[in-house]
Amino acid sequence: MLDAYIGVLVLWPLVAGLLCLVLRSPGARKALVLLTSAALAVCAVGLASQTPFTANPNFLASEGTLKVAEALAIVFPAYFLLRGLMEKHALVIIFSCLQLALAIWGMMNMNEPQTVQNAVVCDGLSVTLALVVAIIGSLIAIFAIPYMQHHEDHLKLAKSKQPAFFLVLLAFLGFMNGMALSNDLRVFEACFEATTLCSFLLIGHDNTPVARQSAFRALWMNALGGVFLHSGVLLVQKQFGVVDIHAVVNPALWTGASMLPVALIVAAGCVKAAQMPFQKWLLGAMVAPTPVSALLHSSTMVKAGVFLCLRFSPVLTNTTIGAILALSGAFTFFAGSAMSLGQSNAKKVLAYSTIANLGLIIVCAGIGTPVAVAAGIVLLAVHAATKGLLFLCVGDMEQTIGSRDLEDLRGMVGKSPVTALAACAGALGMVLPPMGMLVGKWATIEAAKSNPVVMALILLGSALAVVCWVRFAGTLMSGKPLPTPEKAHHSSPLTNMPLMTMLACAIGLGMAAPWIDALMLPNADAASVFTTGWGLMPPLFIVCLLAWMVGMKVLGRQTAVPQASPYMGGLPSAEPGTFVGALGKNWALTEGNEYATEIFGESGWTKFAGTLAGLLLLAMVGGAFI
Partner 1 sequence: MNLTTFYLAVAGLILAPLVGGLVSGVDRVVTARLQSRLGPPLLQPFYDVGKLMSKIIAPASHWQGMFVRWALVASLAADVVLFAGGDVLMCFFIQAASASFVAMGAFSGSSPYSKLGAQRELFQMLCYEPIFLVSVLCMAKAAGGFDANTIMNAGAQPLLYKMPFIIPGLVFVLLVKMRKSPFDLSACHHGHQELVRGVFTDFAGRDFALLEVAHWADVVVILWICSFLWATGPLQMVVVALVALFVIILIDNVSARLTWRHMVKVAAPLTFVLAFANLMWLYLE
Partner 2 sequence: MSFLKKSQIKSPWLLHFDCGSCNGCDIETLACLTPVYDIERFGIVNVGNPRHADVLIVTGTVNPRNAVILKNLYDQMPTPKLVIAVGACGCTGGVFREAPNVLGGVDKIIPVDVYVPGCPAKPEAIMDAVVAGLGKLKGILEGSK
User: How far apart are alpha carbons 340 and 558 in whole angstroms?
Assistant: 34
- Indicate whether 547 belongs to the interface with partner 1 (CB under 8 A): yes
- CB of 563 vs partner 2, minimal distance in Å: 12
Stretch binding partner 1 (CB under 8 A), from 235-243, 288-296, 304-312, 538-546 = 538-546
Q: Which of 561, 565, 567, 590 is nearest to 575 (CA)?
A: 565
Residue 527, Cβ neighbours under 10 Å: how many? 10
Touching partner 1, residues 367-426 (CB under 8 A): 413
Residue 588, strand partner residues: 578
List the one residue from 144, 445, 506, 507 that touches partner 1 (CB under 8 A).
Answer: 445
List the one residue from 27, 256, 402, 569 that touches partner 1 (CB under 8 A).
Answer: 569
Closer CB to partner 1, residue 547 or residue 574? 547
What φ, ψ does residue 54 adopt, rounded to 5°?
Answer: -125, 150
Containing H/E element for 609?
helix 602-623
- Indicate whether 482 belongs to the interface with partner 1 (CB under 8 A): no
Cα-to-chain-centroid distance, residue 501: 18
What φ, ψ does residue 244 adopt, rounded to 5°?
Answer: -75, 115
Closer CB to partner 1, residue 24 or residue 553? 553
E strand map for 465-505: none
Closer CB to partner 2, residue 256 or residue 570? 570
Question: Which one of partner 1, partner 2, none is in contact with 580 (Cβ closer than 5 to 8 A by kind)?
Answer: partner 2
Q: One-letter amino acid identity for 486?
A: E
- CB of 491 vs partner 1, minimal distance in Å: 23
- Indicate whether 580 belongs to the interface with partner 1 (CB under 8 A): no
User: How far apart are alpha carbons 528 and 509 in whole angstroms?
Assistant: 21
Bin 478: left if φ > 0, else alpha if -120 < ψ < 50, else beta. Answer: beta
Closer CB to partner 1, residue 97 or residue 463? 463
- CB of 478 vs partner 1, minimal distance in Å: 4
Query: Which whole-number Å values give the CA distances from 347 to 81, 359, 407, 410, 515, in the listed order?
Result: 31, 18, 12, 15, 31
Containing H/E element for 459?
helix 452-477
Burial class (CB in 10 A: 0-12, 13-18, 19+), 598: exposed
- CB of 483 vs partner 2, minimal distance in Å: 19
Question: Which one of partner 1, partner 2, none is in contact with 504 (Cβ closer than 5 to 8 A by kind)?
Answer: none
Question: Which one of partner 1, partner 2, none is in contact with 241 (Cβ closer than 5 to 8 A by kind)?
Answer: none
Contact partners, residue 80, CB within 8 Å, separation at least 6 = 92, 95, 96, 99, 196, 197, 200, 219, 223
Q: What share of the chain is helix, strand, coil (3-state, %, to 5)?
A: 75, 5, 20
Touching partner 1, residues 318-347 (CB under 8 A): 341
Containing H/E element for 279?
none
Contact partners, residue 298, CB within 8 Å, separation at least 6 = 136, 140, 354, 383, 384, 385, 387, 388, 391
Stretch binding partner 1 (CB under 8 A), from 93-101, 103-111, 364-372, 439-447 = 439-447
- Indicate whether 463 belongs to the interface with partner 1 (CB under 8 A): yes
- Indicate whether 50 belongs to the interface with partner 2 (CB under 8 A): no
Q: Is the dihedral of CA 394, 398, 404, 405 positive or negative?
A: negative
- CB of 131 vs partner 1, minimal distance in Å: 27
- Indicate whether 557 belongs to the interface with partner 1 (CB under 8 A): yes
- Indicate whether 527 belongs to the interface with partner 1 (CB under 8 A): no
- CB of 581 vs partner 2, minimal distance in Å: 11
Query: Which whole-number Å values give the CA distances from 402 to 193, 239, 356, 622, in the listed order?
Result: 35, 55, 27, 47
Residues 186 and 243: beta-carbon distance below 8 Å:
yes
Residues 478 and 591: beta-carbon distance below 8 Å:
yes
Per-residue x/- track, 515-554, partner 2 (CB under 8 A): ----------------------------------------
Closer CB to partner 1, residue 45 or residue 589? 589
Q: Which of 107, 17, 120 is nearest to 69 (CA)?
A: 107
- Indicate whether 223 belongs to the interface with partner 1 (CB under 8 A): no
- Indicate whether 74 belongs to the interface with partner 1 (CB under 8 A): no
Closer CB to partner 2, residue 209 or residue 570? 570
User: How far apart are alpha carbons 445 and 573 in whole angstroms?
Assistant: 49
- Indicate whether 478 belongs to the interface with partner 1 (CB under 8 A): yes
Closer CB to partner 2, residue 239 or residue 573? 573
- Indicate whether 452 belongs to the interface with partner 1 (CB under 8 A): yes
- Indicate whether 117 belongs to the interface with partner 2 (CB under 8 A): no
Would you list the DSSP string of 260-277? HHHHHHHHHHHHHTT-TT
List the one residue from 51, 492, 586, 593 that touches partner 1 (CB under 8 A).
Answer: 593
- Indicate whether 551 belongs to the interface with partner 1 (CB under 8 A): yes
Per-residue x/- track, 555-584, partner 2 (CB under 8 A): ---------xx-x--xxx-------x----
Cα-to-chain-centroid distance, residue 574: 46
List the one residue from 596, 607, 611, 625 that touches partner 1 (CB under 8 A).
Answer: 596
- CB of 301 vs partner 2, minimal distance in Å: 50
List the one residue from 550, 574, 615, 618 that touches partner 1 (CB under 8 A).
Answer: 550
Question: Which one of partner 1, partner 2, none is in contact with 432 (Cβ closer than 5 to 8 A by kind)?
Answer: partner 1
Binding site for partner 2 (CB under 8 A): 564-565, 567, 570-572, 580
Binding site for partner 1 (CB under 8 A): 341, 413, 428, 431-433, 438, 442, 445-446, 449, 452-453, 455-456, 459-460, 462-464, 466-467, 470-471, 473-475, 477-478, 481, 533, 536, 540, 543, 546-547, 550-552, 554-555, 557-559, 561-569, 576, 589, 591, 593-594, 596, 599
